[in-house]
Amino acid sequence: MLLDLLNALVALTNFVIVPATAYGAQLALGALGVTLTVAVLRFTNVAHGDTMAFGTMVTILATWGLQALGITAGPLPTALLALPVGVAATAGLLLATDRLVYRFYRQQRASSAVLLIVSIGVMFVMNGLVRFIIGVDDQRFDDGTRFLVSARDFKAWSGLDEGLAIKTSQGITVLTAAVVMIALFWFLNRTRTGKSMRAFADNRDLALLSGIDPERVVAITWILVAALATIAGTLYGLDKSFKPFTYFQLLLPIFAAAIVGGLGSPVGAIAGGFIISFSEVALTYAWKKVLGYLLPLGLAPDGLAQLLGTEYKHAVSFIILVLVLLIKPTGLFKGTST
Amino acid sequence: MKSLLSASAVLALLAGTAQAEVKLGVLLGFTGPLESVAGPIASAAEMAIAEVSDSGKLLDGETVAPVRGDSTCIDASAATAAGERLVTSDGVAGIVGAMCSGATGAVLANVAIPNGVVMISPSATSPGLTTVEDNGLFFRTAPSDARQSVVMADILTERGLSEVAVTYTNNDYGKGLADSFGTAFEEAGGTVTISAPHDDGKGDYSAEVGALAAAGGEALVVAGYVDEGGSGIIQAALDTGAFDTFILPDGMVAPALTENFGDAIDGSFGQLPGSDSEGGGDFETLASAAGFDGAAVYAKEGYDAAALILLAMQAAGSADASDYKEKIIEVANEPGEKIYPGELAKALEILAEGGDIDYVGASDVELIGPGEASGRFREVEIEGGEITTVGYR
């Protein structure tokens, strides 16, 4: 009986908890970037997915450069060493975009709807830029040790029927996400610059009157967004693979996460990321195996015990989105309503 | 009004001169998800056309010219428009194409049947096209996936596997293959534990693999594309330890597979259209002389599709589809002298003298049923990170 319980637990961890946690951390980092632009810059940045693609692309190119020089990070992926290059290049790109495009509209005091449309244009340009430089194909750039725990080793070690696999990239994803989130909250709540950003976000006119330099706040926001996007994109690429089109599509779950949590609320973005990822995986999981272990012999289901086909997993995030908007339009953590 | 009249007169003149030579449409997915596959097929078809044209023996010295059209693979309306242009504006006497099953069905229904033009697809494999009402105008040198399903079920049974999970790419090809495989495998006494679709172009397949693993099975059939979601599914299945043996149909067997996974998928196996006939080797030599890869998927079928149309014209003594459509199966099958790639001139001569030919071509053509290849398949296995040939079926 205890063995069955353990088997059920391991199967659940292997196929639901581990992948959903890693995916959730990636979505949360992406949603944090989106939510930051909404809070400080007051518009929904549709180009975020392609910003992630750009940052990841630069990181990949830098990774290849490091590998060519014979520098690796040992058991860790080399891409982690290349991250600063990716963040710097992306920050440069975003600051240049702001100078060339967004600043004009900000000075016009354009509405957030106008800025949203503008960001669609920016998205297409970034889209083209990434495809032009690295191409449309799949790129794999993970190296180092692949597994923290591999399914085969776990089975041999535990003697259970079910295996448990944790990839290095999944461990790194969760760890990095935690570090980044803590750093971000510390920055926003404890530093002078962070406080000025929050003041600017809360009431722009009052912030200007108290002597906060708006261009500086905007520039710092873009740099933070660049860092978040590049880190999220690189972690996602390490865990899965890099393909520009996939990053463009990632925009949907990221937006769903940000809106469910409450646009403009960093805590909400993180919660939203995990809510979306866990519901996508858990609602489409076939519970046959787990129930088979847990229920007494005669009661085990013959069918798959699957609530929804996996092809509906994106519908899941949108159903949650619609429900949240209907019941609590500001999101779970009181962001701005859209 | 006057200028309009003169314009149409010029058009009529142009059309008049255009009929002096036979034109053949080459309608393939030059853009879209399988754009990398289209090039060699087109080159192969054009090689056959040039061979016939240069011989000067077709219909008392007619020349033949190819006209390319883009069927895009996934956009049925674009494919229809391209087909329409080939037929009405270029006046083609037959079409080699289209490439993907969805586009082929659309062009057949909207262009070929209304205009009475013969289509031979080198690569559309959906079982649905077998039963489609085609007025005898549609043929294919690629075997139906129904045939592939039976071959795949046989291979599985012979290897002693009785329970498999199936995942397929969510389109005409994937669904058709998964459904017909399910039927074939159950007839052979096997069980399909789950048949679940996956969408291409996603990064995360943990939900899909979770469901597949829960359903269980000794191996996983991946009816997808190696450049798309198929590889993502295999990666996620390997990572979670859900499956370590994969059964790989034609869309998955490509160099990219072993580049991605190396020896991690050793022991996996699959099948793809292919034959060991001497025609295939001859063709690859001719192809490399012409500067393209003759071993590319469906290139041989492309050559054969174009050759069959032209040989049927010769047999009927007419480039009119309603005359020569009856002759296609006749020239493709026994009895008659066997014709291999590079021997089209000889075939034209035999036909001109009223003789019989049995076109073997590059892909060992044998048309069955309503005019589709009976299909020879190459069984492959992954060994030491390499795709190795086990045998032919």
pLDDT range class, residue B16, cuts 50, 70, 90:
very low
Task: Give the residues across from B337 on adjacent strands.
Answer: B357
Look at residue A92 in the predicted model and tell me its pLDDT: 96
Q: Does the pLDDT of residue B13 top 70, yes or no?
A: no
Q: Does the pLDDT of residue A338 top 60, yes or no?
A: no
Nearest Cα neighbor of B136 from B272, B348, B324, B340 is: B324
Cite the DSSP H helix spans in B159-247. Answer: 172-187, 206-215, 229-240
Look at residue B19 in the predicted model and tell me its pLDDT: 43
Q: Does the pLDDT of residue B365 top 60, yes or no?
A: yes
Which of the residues A137, A148, A236, A240 would you substitute to probe the B interface, choosing the one with the greatest number of B C-beta atoms within 10 Å?
A240
Reduce the DSSP state of residue A167 to 3 states and report it: strand
Q: Does the pLDDT of residue A138 top 80, yes or no?
A: no
Gap from B205 CA to chain A (nearest CA, Å): 9
Is residue B157 within 8 Å of B387, Cβ to Cβ? no
Is the bond leading into A53 cis (omega within 30 degrees of zero)? no
Averaged pLDDT, A276-305 = 78
pLDDT range class, residue B389, cuts 50, 70, 90:
confident
Q: Of A62-66, A144-148, B30-34, which gets the smallest average pLDDT? A: B30-34
Is residue B155 within 8 Å of B219, Cβ to Cβ? no
Look at residue B388 in the predicted model and tell me its pLDDT: 81
Say yes or no for a CB contact (<8 Å) between B241 and A280.
no
Q: What is the mean pLDDT of chain B?
A: 85
Is residue A52 within 8 Å of A230, Cβ to Cβ? yes
Angle separating helix axes A313-327 and A266-283, nearest 10 degrees: 140
pLDDT digits (tens, 9 = 90+) for B223-250: 888 777 888 898 888 888 888 889 988 8
Look at residue A102 in the predicted model and tell me its pLDDT: 92
Burial tier of A299 (Cβ tally within 10 Å: 0-12, 13-18, 19+): exposed
Higher local confidence (pLDDT), B6 or B268: B268
Is residue B21 within 8 Å of B87, Cβ to Cβ? no
Averaged pLDDT, A186-197 = 90
- CA distances B63 to A91, B19, B83, B242, Å, are 61, 11, 22, 58
Show which of residues 13-32 on chain A sit within 8 Å of chain B, judged by CB atoms: 14-16, 19-20, 23
Of A243, A245, A288, the CB nearest to B215: A288
Q: Does the pLDDT of residue B12 top 50, yes or no?
A: no
Say yes or no for a CB contact (<8 Å) between B206 and A19.
yes
Q: Does the pLDDT of residue B15 top 50, yes or no?
A: no
User: For tokens 């509906």, what's the residue?
Assistant: A312
Tokens representing B341? Answer: 């790639």
Say yes or no for a CB contact (<8 Å) between B210 and A15.
yes
Q: How far apart are CA A241 and CA A140, in angstroms?
A: 5
Tokens representing B71? Answer: 């069927």
Of B194, B204, B210, the CB nearest to A16: B210
Say yes or no for a CB contact (<8 Å) between A281 and B208.
no
CB atoms within 10 A of CB A330: 18
Q: Does the pLDDT of residue B278 top 80, yes or no?
A: no
Gap from A7 CA to chain B (nearest CA, Å): 12
Averaged pLDDT, B61-78 = 88
A304 touches chain B (CB under 8 A): yes
B202 touches chain A (CB under 8 A): yes
Domains in chain B, ordered, with CATH?
Answer: 2-143+277-373 (3.40.50.2300), 146-272+377-392 (3.40.50.2300)
Look at residue B20 in the predicted model and tell me its pLDDT: 56
What is the bridge-based pairing of β-strands B357-359 and B191-198?
A: unpaired
Is the bond leading into B122 cis (omega within 30 degrees of zero)? no
Q: How far apart are CA A251 and CA A46, in angstroms?
A: 8
Say yes or no for a CB contact (<8 Å) between A240 and B232.
yes
Q: Does the pLDDT of residue A57 top 70, yes or no?
A: yes
pLDDT range class, residue B17, cuts 50, 70, 90:
very low
**CA angle, B31 then B87 then B358, to 5°:** 85
A53 touches chain B (CB under 8 A): no
Q: How far apart are CA A112 and CA A117, in angstroms?
A: 9
Look at residue A156 in the predicted model and tell me its pLDDT: 82
CB atoms within 10 A of CB A211: 7
Of B202, B214, B260, the CB nearest to A15: B214
A138 touches chain B (CB under 8 A): yes
Residues of A in contact with B241 (CB under 8 A): 14, 150-152, 155, 163, 165
User: For tokens 């340009």, what's the residue?
Assistant: A125
B31 touches chain A (CB under 8 A): no
A150 touches chain B (CB under 8 A): yes
**Nearest residue in chain A measured CA to CA from B217:** A289
DSSP A288-319: HHHHHHHS-GGGS-SS--BSS-GGGHHHHHHH
Amino acid at B142: A
Phi/psi of residue B358, nearest 5 degrees: -120, 95
Residues of B in contact with A246 (CB under 8 A): 201-203
pLDDT range class, residue B6, cuts 50, 70, 90:
low
> Which architecture, in CATH terms, is A2-327?
Orthogonal Bundle (1.10)
Is residue B163 within 8 Å of B153, Cβ to Cβ? no
Q: Does the pLDDT of residue B81 top 90, yes or no?
A: yes
Say yes or no for a CB contact (<8 Å) between B202 and A304.
no
Averaged pLDDT, A236-264 = 86
Task: Give the residues across from B69 on adjacent strands.
Answer: B27
Q: Does the pLDDT of residue B277 top 80, yes or no?
A: no
pLDDT range class, residue A51, cuts 50, 70, 90:
very high
Averaged pLDDT, A265-294 = 85
Please provide the size of chain B in residues: 393
Look at residue B66 in the predicted model and tell me its pLDDT: 93
Q: Does the pLDDT of residue A192 top 70, yes or no?
A: yes
Q: Does the pLDDT of residue B276 top 80, yes or no?
A: no
Beta strands in chain B (DSSP E): 22-28, 64-70, 94-97, 118-121, 138-143, 163-169, 191-198, 219-223, 246-248, 269-273, 337-339, 357-359, 367-368, 372-373, 377-383, 386-392
DSSP B297-349: TTHHHHHHHHHHHHHHHHHHT---HHHHTTHHHHHHSSSSEEE-TT-HHHHHH
Q: Of A199-213, B245-259, B320-334, which gets the smallest average pLDDT? A: B245-259
Nearest Cα neighbor of A332 from A287, A268, A279 is: A268
A288 touches chain B (CB under 8 A): yes
Look at residue B3 in the predicted model and tell me its pLDDT: 54
A249 touches chain B (CB under 8 A): yes
Is residue B259 within 8 Å of B168, Cβ to Cβ? no
Higher local confidence (pLDDT), A212 or A152: A212
Buried b (16+ CB within 10 A) or exposed e, B266-294: eebbbbbbbbebebbebbbebbeeeebeb
Q: How far apart are CA B224 and CA B216, in angstroms?
A: 19
Look at residue B1 in the predicted model and tell me its pLDDT: 46
| DSSP single-letter state for residue B250 | T
Q: Of A93-107, B42-56, B137-151, B361-375, which gets the smallest average pLDDT? A: B361-375
Q: Does the pLDDT of residue B297 top 90, yes or no?
A: no
Q: How far apart are CA A62 and CA A64, in angstroms?
A: 5
Q: Of A164-168, A194-198, A233-237, B17-21, which gets the smallest average pLDDT? A: B17-21
Q: How far apart are CA B358 and CA B280, in angstroms?
A: 16
B57-60: list long-range contacts, CB under 8 Å, 24+ apart: B57/B314, B57/B345, B57/B348, B57/B349, B57/B352, B58/B22, B58/B310, B58/B313, B58/B314, B58/B348, B59/B22, B59/B313, B59/B314, B59/B317, B59/B318, B59/B319
Phi/psi of residue A274, nearest 5 degrees: -75, -35
Q: Where are the domains of chain A?
A: 2-327
Higher local confidence (pLDDT), B122 or A72: B122
Nearest Cα neighbor of B173 from B146, B204, B139, B208 is: B146
Q: Of A88-102, A278-292, B150-164, which gets the smallest average pLDDT? A: A278-292
Gap from A326 CA to chain B (nearest CA, Å): 27
